[in-house]
């Protein structure tokens, strides 16, 4: 059966209260996984847990700000205390930004690194001993911005490049331990990350500059990630944008630089001049 791979596996997911994280939680639970959800917003976490339980799945949650090492440890301990194991860790929590580097407050870049990079590092550090026991999986949700720098998103690109380098190294260090590490690159996805993207002064953008209807759905991303874990893939490029960027980057950087500039400059109220 399709669900046998996930049956009773314990999956910990950060950023699970909305968007891709919520979709992953619901998808994995429907496949038979027990899911442990982490995010800052308790009300939304409770709602996701209820959705899963109404569908016959098993889920619990832990309120966590991934920028806090102690709270990341608490999330992992919640899974171990309640279920006694961790099979899969999905590091999905993340925020974006939209501002030129010469205008942005440096605190915004610190915030991006704290959430996107350090939030992953903390969770992996505490989950790793448990994952190694079961030859489990780590999934890091990266971005096209982690393959090639995107203008107006210096902190976001830097954090995703850092995430990729960190997870690649963890994978290589644990080759003999059979630890599976997958870096997923969804491309532009219809989720709430653009609504909460930080502007130059650190305030939330509050609206999306892109047409969400033309993007891959969070549910589609979740399905592909679930299949990628099952197949033990190392990299998961989920649409033609990511595949094209990865391919073209090997050939010419200047072409990509100009292409991304033109695309981002067309966004409403773009910081690019």
Catalytic one of 6, 83, 156, 235: 156
Give the DSSP letter of residue 207.
Answer: S
Task: Specify the pTM.
Answer: 0.85
Q: Give the length of the chain.
A: 273
Nearest in space to 63 (alpha carbons), one of 23, 29, 14, 99: 14
Q: Which among 25, 38, 104, 49 is positioned nearest to 74, based on CA atoms?
A: 38
DSSP letter at 133? H
Contacts for 14 with CB less than 8 Å, ≥ 6 apart: 21, 38, 39, 64, 66, 75, 90, 91, 92, 93, 119, 123
Tens digits of pLDDT across the chain (273 residues): 345 899 999 999 999 999 999 999 999 999 999 999 999 999 999 999 999 999 999 999 999 999 999 999 999 999 999 999 999 999 999 999 999 999 999 999 999 999 999 999 999 999 999 999 999 999 999 988 888 888 899 999 999 999 999 999 999 999 899 999 999 998 765 556 556 789 998 888 666 555 555 668 899 999 999 999 999 999 898 765 655 565 555 556 566 567 767 776 777 777 765
Q: Which residues of 195-204 are buried (b: 16+ CB within 10 A; e: fewer)?
A: eebbbbeeee
Please choose, from the candidates 235, 86, 250, 72, the residue with its C-alpha nearest in 3D space to the C-alpha of residue 164.
235
Domain ranges, ordered by start, for the chain: 2-95+106-188+217-239
Q: Does 156 participate in catalysis according to the annotation? A: yes
CATH class of 2-95+106-188+217-239: alpha beta
Quote the longest CA-to-CA distance of the chain. 54
Two tokens, residue 66: 């991934």
Rounded Cα–Cα distance for residues 21 and 31 (Å): 15
């Amino acid at each position: 059966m399709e669900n046998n791979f996930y049956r009773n596996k314990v999956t910990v997911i950060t950023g699970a209260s909305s968007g891709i994280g919520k979709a992953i939680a619901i998808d994995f639970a429907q496949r038979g996984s027990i899911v442990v959800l982490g995010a800052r917003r308790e009300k939304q976490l409770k709602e996701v847990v209820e959705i899963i339980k109404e569908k016959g799945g098993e889920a619990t949650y832990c309120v966590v700000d991934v920028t806090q090492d102690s709270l990341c440890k608490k999330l992992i301990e919640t899974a171990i205390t309640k279920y006694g194991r961790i099979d899969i860790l999905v590091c999905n929590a993340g925020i974006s930004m939209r501002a030129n580097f010469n205008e942005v407050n440096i605190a915004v870049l610190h915030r991006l690194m704290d959430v996107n990079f350090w939030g992953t590092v903390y969770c992996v550090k505490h989950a790793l001993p448990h994952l190694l026991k079961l030859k489990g999986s780590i999934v890091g949700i990266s971005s096209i911005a982690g393959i090639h720098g995107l203008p107006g998103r210096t902190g976001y690109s830097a954090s995703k490049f850092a995430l990729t380098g960190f997870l690649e190294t963890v994978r290589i260090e644990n080759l003999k331990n059979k630890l599976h590490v997958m870096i997923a690159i969804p491309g532009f996805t219809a989720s709430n990350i653009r609504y909460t993207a930080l502007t130059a002064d650190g305030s939330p953008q509050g609206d999306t500059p892109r047409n969400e209807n033309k993007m891959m759905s969070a549910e589609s991303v979740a399905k592909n990630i679930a299949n990628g874990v099952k197949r033990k893939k190392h990299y998961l490029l989920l649409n033609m944008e990511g595949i094209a960027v990865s391919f073209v980057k090997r050939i010419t950087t200047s072409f990509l630089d100009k292409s991304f500039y033109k695309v981002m400059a067309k966004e409403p109220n773009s910081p690019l001049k």
